[in-house]
Amino acid sequence: MSYMYCNRCGYNTPCERCRMRGQCFYGDSWTSSSRKSCAVASCQTESAQEFSFARFLKAGDLTDVEIAVESDRFPDQRKCFKAHRLVLALQNDVFRAMFYGDFAKEDRVVITDLHPEGVLGLLRYFYSGQLEVDSVHQALCTRSAAIKYLEPRLAQMCSAYVKTKMTAKDVCPVLDYVLTMGEDDSDLPTTTLVQAESLAVLSSQEFESCFVCTAHYVLDRVVNVPEVSVMRAVHAWALNQLRYAAAVGARGRTLRQIMQPFFPKLRFLALTAQDFVAGPNLWGALSADEVRAILSNIVKRGSVPFPAGFCQTDGPRKAKISKSRGAQSKVFKVSEVYPSDFLALGLLQRAKIN
């Protein structure tokens, strides 16, 4: 029996695999196996060969190298993958030098700066030539691996996937990952989504649990949203930080200490007297003198000296006509990614971004 490549099932097997004897699916129609749509195994197309390699990765047959992913950033996400040195070397110059260069390493490679999902996505790409991810999180992790191992095409594919799938509730987890990893978000729709769906981003559960760097990023970019909503979101975020710290037994910080870095960005003067009295006045984060001074200035600007360290802008947050620079490409230090006592927890243990 002749072995053929079938475009429907993707296998180089007898056409019976498609349950259509003597026929194979090509394009959008069934055609006779004697036509050019099917070819004997000796004339496999590139797609067929790539599919066969993907099967070898899943099966683990004849593997000769182990890739261990052990990152301190993801302490609960360690994993090992079996692969073929020759396949990796043929597909990627970094692995070629690693396995067959003058300083070739042993049969075990340890990766300490990537998430296992990213390494898996990279391996799948080497074996199939395709991006195979199921979530924005996996795409971001794979993008990091692609950047590290000099695979610009894969990085572009990951960015395109994120652009297509990313929603308002993904913004904060994406920023947590990107900012902490020190990556640039200029090719991601983070700023666009923050400005287009400011209220949805601020009111999401993901904002409540985001890192402080992400909270500042979002606060600097939200537009066309009532200031009272901004206040409530930041207050809810701060309360969540207190609960999280208590849950893991971290060093205690007061609500004021957590919120104080945001005082220069919160537009207290844009609130009505009623909103201020029913909101910030009851937080317990402001001193009596600060409450009195802010409320007096809300009622009548300049009636008393305004307290230092507070935002004096009293207008609404409006969109600025300027080019977005995206997130700063900076690796945040442990002390900058609050709370400092449990950096490894939070996002970096998030196994999934829907």
Same domain? For 100 and 198 the reply is no
Per residue in 201-229, pLDDT (tens digit) is 999 999 999 999 999 999 999 999 999 99
Residue 311's identity, in one-letter code, is C
* In a domain? residue 197: yes
Annotate 73-113 with DSSP letters as a single string. TSTT--EEEEE-HHHHHHH-HHHHHHHHSTT---SEEEE-S
Residue 307: its pLDDT value, please? Answer: 96
Res 7 pLDDT > 60 = no
The arithmetic mean of pLDDT across residues 23-29, rounded, is: 46
* In a domain? residue 257: yes
Residue 59: its pLDDT value, please? Answer: 79
Kindly state the percentage of the chain with pLDDT values over 70: 75
Query: What is the rounded average pLDDT for all residues in the chain?
Result: 81
Per residue in 281-306, pLDDT (tens digit) is 999 999 999 999 999 999 999 999 99
Kindly state the percentage of the chain with pLDDT values over 90: 61
The residue among 138 and 34 whose pLDDT is bigger is 138
Residue 320: its pLDDT value, please? Answer: 66
Q: What CA–CA distance (Å, rounded) separates 120 from 18?
A: 30
Same domain? For 189 and 323 the reply is yes
Res 354 pLDDT > 50 = no
Same domain? For 214 and 325 the reply is yes
Per residue in 28-44, pLDDT (tens digit) is 444 544 444 444 333 44
Q: How far apart are the first and last CA of the chain?
A: 46
Question: Where in the sequence is the domain holding 21, given as residue range(s)?
Answer: 4-44
Same domain? For 145 and 199 the reply is no
* In a domain? residue 354: no
The arithmetic mean of pLDDT across residues 89-106, rounded, is: 86
- Cβ-count burial of 31 within 10 angstroms (0-12 exposed, 13-18 middle, 19+ buried)? middle
The arithmetic mean of pLDDT across residues 334-351, rounded, is: 36
Res 92 pLDDT > 60 = yes
- Minimum mean pLDDT among 76-85, 129-138, 185-194, 340-349: which range? 340-349
The arithmetic mean of pLDDT across residues 251-257, rounded, is: 88
Q: What CA–CA distance (Å, rounded) separates 114 from 181?
A: 9
Same domain? For 104 and 215 the reply is no
Q: How confident is the model at residue 236 (pLDDT cuts 50, 70, 90)?
A: very high
Same domain? For 210 and 292 the reply is yes
